[in-house]
Amino acid sequence: MQRYKLLIEYDGSGFVGWQRQINGLGVQQCMEEAVQKFCGEDVTVFSAGRTDTGVHALGQVAHFDIEKDSDANTVRRALNHHLKDVAISILSTDEVDQEFHSRFSAQQRAYVYRIISRRAPLTVDRGRAWWIPVELDATAMHEASQLLLGKHDFSTFRAAECQADGPLKTLDAIRVEKDGNEISIHVRAKSFLYHQVRNFAGSLKNVGEGRWTIDEFKAAFEAADRTKGGPTAPPEGLYFVEVVY
């Protein structure tokens, strides 16, 4: 039995998220069907993190085990062949030992949230970024974001459906960058609460628009109450970009 580690890119627009579900097509389902077509084996493909409906990935990591005698390059080419009709690409494949687990071995996960701040509607980036038709103050957004660093009760940014044991998480890094009309929010932590990054983006957008001062952002954060936070940003701006092992 050989375990393979995969680095995966996908456009989340046409999927109900990573996880196989009965109400639509999940990335996991496509992956498992591709493996079955390749080697005739029914497997479970485990990911480093479950992305939601509409969320994209540039650096998702997954693994599975098969009995077929093969090699990493053959597996990558075969899976890409069987995935050619969906927006999923296997960027690389490695043989790993049975101690490796894409989820439980992960030490950090990184996401980027993209905002396009301009008056004109999006065309090329439609479905791939959050369009905000007013200018945002990225400097103020970055200053506010630094309040989130470290270990905190993140209840203000936790979705009601979150199944985590509690609201305490440690945020290792966050920065807000501006490049022309694009503002990107980069975050890194071992794990995140459900919708945590999208709720960061929604609340920081309030700061960027001038609706909240940095002190008001701080007060909302310290309230540890989701009803005090900003809106949940739409999924199309969120990208799962890296896993550190």
The one catalytic residue in 11, 52, 65, 94 is: 52
**Phi-psi sector, 90: left (phi>0), alpha (psi -120 to 50), beta:** beta
Distance, in Å, from the CA atom of 241 to the CA atom of 108, rounded to the nearest integer, reads: 11
User: Burial level of 167, CB count in 10 A (0-12/13-18/19+)?
Assistant: middle
Mapping DSSP to helix (H, G, I), strand (E, B) and coil, where does residue 140 land?
helix
Nearest residue to 94 (alpha-carbon basis) of 62, 49, 56: 62
DSSP secondary structure code for residue 186 in this structure: E
Nearest residue to 27 (alpha-carbon basis) of 50, 2, 7, 48: 50
Does the annotation mark 52 as catalytic?
yes
Say what the alpha-carbon torsion angle 228, 231, 237, 240 is, to the nearest 10 degrees.
Answer: 30
- Which active-site residues does the annotation give? 52
